[in-house]
Structure formats: C-alpha cells, structure tokens
Amino acid sequence: MSADTLALWRNAHVATCDAHDTRIANAALVTRGDRIEWVGREAELPEGLRVQARAVWDLGGAWVTPGLIDCHTHLVFAGTRAAEYAQRLRGLSYEAIARSGGGILTTVRATRAASEQQLFDASAPRLAALLAEGVTTVEVKSGYGLTLEDEAKMLRVARELAAVFPVRIRTTLLAAHTVPPEFSGRADEYIDTIAQVWLPQLHAAGLVDAVDVFCERIGFDTTQSERLLRAARTLGLPVKMHAEQLSNIGATRLAARYGALSCDHLEYASAEEARALKDSGGVAVLLPVAFYCLGETHRPPVAELRAAGTAMAVASDCNPGSAPGTSLLLALNMSTRLFGLTAEEGLAAVTAQAARALGLQGVVGVLAPGQCADFVIWEVAGVEELSYWVGHNRCRAVVRGGSLVRGSP
C-alpha cells in the first residue's frame, strides 16, 4: 500500500487504550499508509477523509483494540524441558534443578547444538501462536547461547522471524542469564566479557535493542549486574531486569537507578520497589504463567504498585523452563485472577503499558493519530472478554501497519 493511501475502517467500537482508557461506541478509524490518521465517533468523521478513502471496511459492530504487545519472551530456543517439569511435579524445585546443572543450562546445550535454521524452525510455530491472538509486537531475549557466536545466532533468528512474520520484534541481550560452563566459578569474568567484548560487538552488528540481566541468588548479584547495566547505558542502550523473581536482593532498586525500561517478575518486591519504579518511570512487568508453572505462592505486590501509580504490563514469558506457553491472552487472564489486576488494568497491561516497557510509547500500544496502524478486530460483545476467557481466542482479524494480515473483518 502506498504511504499516503487512506483506508476507512467503519462500524466498530474502539478501545483506544490511551491514558483515559477511552471507549468509543459506533466508531471509525482512518489509516494513512501504515499510520493511524483519525479515530473517533463515526458520526464525527470529517467528510474529507470519507471521500478520500480508497478502501472501506465494514467491521460489523466489532470491538477494536491496539495490536497486543508481548513485552517479555524467550521464544527463541531449542528442545523442551518437559522431563524437568515432570521432575518438578514429583517435588524437585526449579532452583535445585538449576543448581545441579539442569534448568537454563539444559536449554543452552540444546540451543548451541541447533543450527540457525533449526532454531528458526523451532521458534516459528511459537511466534505464529502468539500472532494468532492478535499480537503485533514481541520482545525476544537471547540467553540460551552464552557464547558470543550462539548469542548472535539467537538474536539473528529473532531478526529473521521479524522479516518473515507480520510482527515488530525488539531484541534483548540476556547473555547474563546464567554462568556458562566455560566460565564456571568465574562469574565476574563472565560479566566483564559480556560488558567489554560481546555487547559492543553485538550492538555494532545491529542485533541488540536492549540489555537484560537475571539478577537473582541463582543468577548475578547486584554488583555484577550493575557493571553490565553501566556498559549498556554507556552504549546508549536501554536496560531491563529480571528482578525479585525468587528472592529480593535489591535488583529493582538498582535497575531504577539506571532508568530501566522495566523490571520483570517482581514476586518478592515490596512497596519500596513499587515506588522506586514509579519514580524512575519504569514499568512493572508481571509474568503470571511463570508464577503458575513454578507453583509460586508469593505474589507480586499489585496493590502496592497500584497505590504507587506504577505502570503494570503483563507478558507471556514464553520460555522452556518456567513458562512453556505461547498465549498472551492466557497470561492476561491469569494476571486478573492470580494477581488481582482489573479488566481495565489487564487490557492496558498488554497494550499501552507493554509498549512503554519496550520504549515504544508513542509508536504502538494506543489507537491515536500518528501511531502505527496495528489493531485487532475481536469477536466479542465487550473488551472485558479479553481477560475473561480461559484459553479461548476471540481474535477475528489483525491489521498490522495498515494492512490486513490475518482473518477478514
């Protein structure tokens, strides 16, 4: 479609997901190329736009939301951890498996052994499953290669997926996921290698949009994490943090000092972390599928986050260990019942707030003039249905960059 072609999407109801959670009944949208030109009540559609529209789509009274955003995934990996899940069902803990050389390292072995094509082929169906639910933007982390070559391979696969599927992908370097066998007992040296050698090279190759660290008692401590955050910020890269997932070692407070886009998991965070994130403008990314699959009982401090006014996003955390799932809608449903998000908070958490967690506010996540024309047409009577259904996908059609890429309105 040419860059300035107007299209009219009419006879709809729109949840814009802006700061006021605006809902517009009997609405219309006008797209210009890949951007939104106008959104509002159809009765108020400017006549000039109506006559210029080269295509008119009747949405039959359907609800429209921004394209969904999955702002935390590890979807590029090889193999599964089904055998470890079976062990966990018999009572072994995630941490015990990790300490005995399994866990993340099990997936590292499989991912290193996979060719780039095999890794792409393993990951593509997971991405396709996310997109079938109306996801139009996905963050993908590395972290199962843990050598320069294998981290680069993972990040290239993420870029290749973005070239083949109708999706925007943001890549995050998570080489600081665990200490690889080559650096066993030398975590400090490993962090410095990432910070001084791998990160600059991968950044120069255009493979890194952000940097993340697993800051945890089975990951990296705050001193080590800080060295990597500083290196990332020196290169002008935004940072994120796997924080307070299994214990509280001060990860969020550290990340906030480095202006982190988000701190993710947060099961063991408190009001103090909620305020630190609010003050730094970071987003709390909640990952209920990992909470569920790990049989966690310690919930993230949603009431404290709400009281502090901290932005909350929800993501799938798609990964082979703690969250082997490819449904953002299920994560959304779980965030309401398991964590206590309201339906309205939930919808914002997979659209506008998820965009902020990726530094993409003003680009995607809200239906407003100037934003990318990424939106979903839902087969629902109201948008509360998005967090209501358990494993039931009501996505009828998806528009990405102004073009219909799935279904028919």
Closest distance to ligand DI6 from the beta carbon of 104 (Å) = 5
State in angstroms the smallest separation of the CB of 98 from ligand DI6: 8
Neighbours of 343 (CB within 10 A): 16
Establish if 150 lies at the interface with Fe ion (CB under 5 A): no
Minimal CA–CA distance to 259: which of 365, 356, 364?
Answer: 356
Based on the shown chain and the rule CB under 5 A, indicate whether residue 84 belongs to the binding site for Fe ion: no
The reply on whether position 209 binds Fe ion by CB under 5 A is no
Least distance (Å) from ligand DI6 to the CB of residue 75? 11
Strand ordering across the sheet containing 395-400 = 35-41, 23-32, 6-15, 55-66, 375-378, 395-400, 403-407
317 binds Fe ion (CB under 5 A): yes
Bridge partners, 407 (sequence order):
397
Residue nearest to Fe ion (CB): 317
Where does this chain touch ligand DI6 (CB under 6 A) — which range of 2-10, 102-110, 115-123, 304-312? 102-110
Nearer to Fe ion, 59 or 350 (CB): 350
- Closest CB to Fe ion among residues 198, 214: 214
Out of 321, 324, 365, 402, the residue judged to bind ligand DI6 by CB under 6 A: 321
Query: Which 3 state secondary structure label does DSSP give 8?
Result: strand
The stretch among 39-47, 118-126, 232-240, 313-321 that binds ligand DI6 (CB under 6 A) is: 313-321
Please check whether residue 69 is in contact with residue 37, taking contact to mean a CB–CB distance below 8 angstroms. no
Q: What is the distance between the alpha carbons of residues 212 and 210, in angstroms, rounded to a whole number? A: 7
- Helix spans in 287-327 (H): 288-293, 302-308
Q: Does 224 bind ligand DI6 (CB under 6 A)?
A: no
Q: In degrees rounded to 5, what are phi and psi of residue 149? A: -65, -40
Listed ranges 38-46, 100-108, 196-204, 307-315: which one lies at the site for ligand DI6 (CB under 6 A): 100-108
301 binds, among ligand DI6, Fe ion, none (CB under 5 to 8 A by kind): none
The secondary structure element, H or E, covering residue 352 is helix 352-357
